[in-house]
Structure 1
Amino acid sequence: MISISEAQNVFDFLPLFAVMVLMPIVILVSPAMALNQLNVYRVQHFDLHNNRIGSRHSLMNLEAISVSQIKESFAKKCVIVRLSELLDKMDTFHTIIDQTLVAGILIILPKTMRSLNGPQMDAFLTFEKSLVSKEIQIPIYVSHESKQLLNLYEMQSKRSETSEEEDIEKSNVRKLYDSVMTNGYQMVISGPQTSPVKDLIVTNIQAKLIGAGVEDQMPTIAVVAHYDAFSMAPGLSFGADSNGSGVVALLEMIRLFSKLYSNAKTQPKVNLLFLLSGAGKFNYFGTKKWIDEHLDGNEASLLSDSLFTICLDSLADRDGNSGLNMHVSKPPKEGTPAAQLFEDLKRIASTSLTHPFNVSMIHKKINLAEETLAWEHERFSIRRLSAFTLSALSSHKSLRRKSLTDVFDDKLLDPLYLNINLISEAVAHQIYKDFESNLFDSDLRISHAFIKSLLYQLSRQSRAQQLLLSSQKGSQVEVSPLIRSLEQIMRRYVNDVQLIHIRVDNKDNELVFYEPTQAELNIYNVKPAIFDLFVSLAITIYLAIFFAIVSNFHHLNSLTKRVVTSNGYNSKFQ
């Protein structure tokens, strides 16, 4: 047993022990301070018709590595990669994602996607589509390049290159030492795990211009455009052409025709019904619910007796096709209003334009075996309503329709001006049958300033549907600022404007969104995980030795006394 005096001797050493041993250990294993905090955007995550799409996870606490380091170790690693490198190693990244070879990916985008050349743009669009066409089991984030991210990327790349060159000459002991002592970077995104958005509400905006007569006894022309945009990341879905151009065209048509309808002399005997629909990028969900409400509801509907419905989509001709296409599920019969509108489009284009401009009709049958519809008008055609989509695109398969590369560009404006004027003239000729000259070439003409300002404002903010959902606040439904702004613009020209809220039941799995769509990334400068293992082992060994010393202190004390006594005795006789 240890005596009180012996124990006292032990405790005399504790302050020295704390200073010399414990403090360095605490410093070594204490959490590192964050070097940087960055906003990053998570790739898409939603369910549509029971299909699970996108990245299912959001949290990360992973060591940053470059692509070339994956062959060494990939457990608990986050690959940080510039877009240019990703495009050069496309097959590698498809393998990484499909086989879950890493625990996370951070993609650094250039400041502007215009820096990509033609082949790079095509490769990126293909990669972007692949990310939003399947379920992914790792968190994937994107962020535009910044000084901090580029420095981190360059340091990781240099470390990988240096490691490859020096590994041949290093001994195994040296390699082990480097793996333990070399600092790394920890990528941390914390917070709650992904969860479905509860009480999901999608909002449509409807406006009506009533003709001169009894409302439900006059024919109706409907004009529809979906206001949401889509890309691989909800936070970067700007959709300037798809479908910002369609929204702008619809609002400009409201502005033009409201002047005609507000004057008793020019008020026609035709109703105009306008709809800005939500969740268009999700199989035209808002349009489907709107049609169902009009046709299956108890009240009389203008839509059921409509002459035709015009769906506006991607009118800014980003691909430079120099034309306008009427997409139909079934070619309209000769003499019908839809067929007459097509003839008016061709005639006005040929007589008003001095440069070659093609107006074409493209017939595509509805493929019900496909998971999603090709064009918005197909929602109407399924319910046997006359409808078509007007678009500068010749095919619904254009990858730009769902891409973060679809941003504002001044080059979009001239084709958009032309197409809005052409469509407005053709609709006016359907309404005013005896009017032969161009109606919007006189004092009443399209406003370039109005169109440019609207398209610019729409393209400045992400319009992913996840960011435009409405929410229930007590007895009121609160809409997003963008929806409120669109409503106010419509009310400026039309008295009859209505917000239509669609409540989505998550149990049906028809449409489910998940949070979060963006996060805060903390980057820490830390020792590698193996360093913690060695520190833990060293602490364990040290504590075992210390415990052994304390437990056997009386033996050591006796031995020390004998040695001291013996030394004193020997020195006495010398």
Structure 2
Amino acid sequence: MAHRKARERDMLDSVYSMLALVFILVACVELCDAATVVDVYRLIQYDISGVPFGSRLASLNHHAGSLHFSPGADLSRTVVMIPVRELNISFVTEYVSRKHPLGGMLFLLPEIFRLENGGGGKDVREKEVVKNVLLELEKLLVHAKLPYPVYFAFENDEIDAVLDDVKKNDATGQPATATTGGYKLVIPIAEPKKVASPTITNIQGWLQGLKADGDANQLPTIAIVASYDTFGAAPALSVGSDSNGSGVVALLEVARLFSLLYSNPKTRGRYNILFGLTSGGPYNYNGTHKWLRSFDQRLRESIDYAICLNSVGSWNNELWIHVSKPPENAYIKQIFEGFTNVAEELGFKVGLKHKKINISNPRFR
């Protein structure tokens, strides 16, 4: 038994350090002889301008409950198991907004959301419905500071069986305790510590333009930028094919094409082209801020305009240009007309969205 416990502990330490993945131990307190291990993923924690969001707590050692608890029940030492298929968003909103005491939350995701599952065929409609619920839940969780641990897990036969038993127990009006039995959710790990100075890595490329004979002035610069990371309520579950994998792919392809053109003086333009892949996009574009601050004044002043590629993997042959300056701006009109002309030849539609940006707002997008 001691050898098995040591082996399990070593496995947990190894997986946690490499994948930021923790495990939840579901133990049957009443029988004291049944246990199962389930992969779980912790809710994100982060700061924006010194304001904490998400949850700072990770360890758990509370009894399991369901949404079928009695009205007025004390949930301060209960981890509520919530299948996203049955999500009562009003319950979550109530506990999050009013800071009601709660032992923790465990959200159960359908198997169709696993990366290895395509979710095609008859699952498409169900997946779309659940996806909309998840989007609402994610906005609620990541914009709040939660005083209890929150985890996500995927449904499977074992955890479904546990949830069925928990629901039956809650339906009797007798909450699970150390004396009455039931299931207990245990995550015996240390509480996470704040990273004082997170690593921000930016990648930069440069193509030198061709000056005209006798031109001593510095050439103007076009900056093409994409943020390469993604964001989600559970970092280990975040996927970013269009946020912003598509933007990264587009930037690399543009860089490849222009590097071919600029390798020949006859096809080299009168502009320098600056390429930047930046990190920290979802965190108020921290990586982009750091990258811009690293420029010397001459380079910064030479930039005529910048194009930021984000979420360009359109499914309906539409692309949108988002601008902060009025559409009458000469550069914007030139870019928009150029994109529109090419898009028409390729069967795409290009639209323009004008929205002022409040740079003093610390909130990310």
When the two structures are superposed, what TM-score results if normalisation uses the length of structure 2? Answer: 0.79
Report the counterpart of residue 19 of structure 2 in structure 1. Answer: none
Deviation at 1:235, TM superposition (A): 1.1
Counterpart check, 1:345 vs 2:339: yes
Deviation at 1:215, TM superposition (A): 10
- 8 Å contact 1:226–1:277 — kept in the other structure? yes
User: What does residue range 502-521 of structure 1 map to in structure 2 within 5 Å?
Assistant: none
How far apart, in 1, do the equivalents of 2:78 and 2:192 lie? Answer: 20
Report the counterpart of residue 55 of structure 1 in structure 2. Answer: 55
Report the counterpart of residue 267 of structure 2 in structure 1. Answer: 266
- 8 Å contact 1:80–1:153 — kept in the other structure? yes
Name the aligned partner's letter for residue 324 of structure 1.
Answer: L
- 8 Å contact 2:200–2:279 — kept in the other structure? yes
Identical aligned residues as a percent: 34
How far apart, in 2, do the equivalents of 1:370 and 1:70 lie? Answer: 42
* CA distance 1:70–1:206, change in 2 (3 Å): farther
Deviation at 1:365, TM superposition (A): 1.4
Report the counterpart of residue 187 of structure 1 in structure 2. Answer: 185
* CA distance 1:327–1:199, change in 2 (3 Å): closer
Report the counterpart of residue 134 of structure 1 in structure 2. Answer: 144
* CA distance 1:365–1:179, change in 2 (3 Å): closer
Counterpart check, 1:121 vs 2:131: yes
Deviation at 1:331, TM superposition (A): 2.2
- 8 Å contact 1:367–1:373 — kept in the other structure? no
How far apart, in 1, do the equivalents of 2:65 and 2:239 lie? Answer: 31
1:154-203 CA distances to partner (integer Å, 9 max, x unpaired)? 22123334x26xxxxxxxxxx89x97865311111112112111442211
How far apart, in 1, do the equivalents of 2:303 and 2:216 lie? Answer: 12
Counterpart check, 1:330 vs 2:288: no
How far apart, in 1, do the equivalents of 2:323 and 2:146 lie? Answer: 35
Name the aligned partner's letter for residue 310 of structure 1.
Answer: I
How far apart, in 1, do the equivalents of 2:157 and 2:226 lie? Answer: 40
Counterpart check, 1:150 vs 2:148: no
**RMSD, aligned α-carbons:** 2.8
Report the counterpart of residue 36 of structure 2 in structure 1. Answer: 36
Which secondary structure state, in structure 2, belongs to the residue aligned with residue 201 of structure 1?
coil
How far apart, in 2, do the equivalents of 1:231 and 1:341 lie? Answer: 32
Name the aligned partner's letter for residue 353 of structure 1.
Answer: L
Report the counterpart of residue 435 of structure 1 in structure 2. Answer: none
- 8 Å contact 2:99–2:147 — kept in the other structure? no
- 8 Å contact 2:220–2:302 — kept in the other structure? yes
Deviation at 1:81, TM superposition (A): 1.6
- 8 Å contact 2:218–2:302 — kept in the other structure? no
User: What does residue range 97-116 of structure 1 map to in structure 2 within 5 Å?
Assistant: 97=96, 98-113=98-113, 115=123, 116=126
* CA distance 1:216–1:209, change in 2 (3 Å): farther
How far apart, in 1, do the equivalents of 2:319 and 2:237 lie? Answer: 28
Counterpart check, 1:253 vs 2:247: no
Which secondary structure state, in structure 1, belongs to the residue aligned with residue 100 of structure 2?
coil
Which secondary structure state, in structure 2, belongs to the residue aligned with residue 202 of structure 1?
coil
Unmatched 5+ residue regions in structure 1? Answer: 1-28, 165-174, 375-574
Using CA pairs under 8 Å that are at least 6 residues apart, name the structure with larger relative contact order, 1 or 2.
1
User: What does residue range 519-538 of structure 1 map to in structure 2 within 5 Å?
Assistant: none
1:545-570 CA distances to partner (integer Å, 9 max, x unpaired)? xxxxxxxxxxxxxxxxxxxxxxxxxx
Unmatched 5+ residue regions in structure 2? Answer: 1-28, 114-118
Report the counterpart of residue 306 of structure 2 in structure 1. Answer: 309
Q: Which has the larger radius of gyration?
A: 1
How far apart, in 2, do the equivalents of 1:30 and 1:65 lie? Answer: 15
* CA distance 1:180–1:106, change in 2 (3 Å): closer
- 8 Å contact 2:321–2:352 — kept in the other structure? yes
Which secondary structure state, in structure 1, belongs to the residue aligned with residue 267 of structure 2?
coil
How far apart, in 2, do the equivalents of 1:343 and 1:243 lie? Answer: 25
Deviation at 1:231, TM superposition (A): 1.0
When the two structures are superposed, what TM-score results if normalisation uses the length of structure 1? Answer: 0.52
- 8 Å contact 1:222–1:306 — kept in the other structure? yes
Q: Which of 321, 346, 356 in structure 2 is aligned with 1:365? A: 356
How far apart, in 2, do the equivalents of 1:240 and 1:126 lie? Answer: 20
User: What does residue range 285-300 of structure 1 map to in structure 2 within 5 Å?
Assistant: 285-294=286-295, 297=296, 300=298
